Amino acid sequence: MSQQITQELRARGTAQVIVGLKQPAAAEAAAPPGAAAEPAAATASSAIAGIERHFTVSELSQDSALALAVGRVGPPRVRYYPNLGLALGTVTRQGLAGLRADTARVARVAGAPPLSLIRPVRMSAGRPAPRPPRSHRLLRRVRPAGLRGGACSGAPRHG
């Protein structure tokens, strides 16, 4: 058992874990070649159907606190990310043991790092605007006679 999971289980009785699932391609390969593709929701629910019972909803979890803050009834027991082949959820000691024992569907169980917003460490003043090239500064200072008072029309000067 990872140290992070052990510490969370001792402190709160639950731990948030990331479960690496064995590739769902095996389930798709078992389907007949001409079978129609299942809808995404049905595929997702079938991928986690066997392991969902190992997860729990805890009042102490970050998901529950966020759901309460926005006025929802409660968070889902497990979040499934099909493109990553991962499930994220909260488990008890019994749920963790069940996930580790389910070697047919579960490849790996790891502790989930606490998710938070990234806070800036230091704010610095904005960089000053870049100085114009030296030639522009000189033109501004010298102001040739042809550029004064809109006398530069682009027409050739005679005389």
23 occurs within a structural domain = yes
In-domain check, residue 67: yes
Please answer whether residues 111 and 16 qualify as being in contact, where contact means their C-beta atoms are separated by less than 8 angstroms.
Answer: yes
Nearest one of 118, 117, 100, 119 to 109, comparing CA atoms:
100
Angle subtended by helix axes 93-101 and 3-12, to nearest 10? 150
Question: Which of the residues in the chain have pLDDT under 50?
Answer: 25-38
Q: Which pair of structure tokens corresponds to residue 8? A: 């969370």
pLDDT confidence of residue 87:
93
80 domain residue, yes or no: yes
pLDDT of residue 115: 74
Q: Which domain holds residue 40?
A: 3-111
User: How many domains are contained in the chain?
Assistant: 1
Per-residue confidence (pLDDT) for residue 28, from 0 to 100: 46
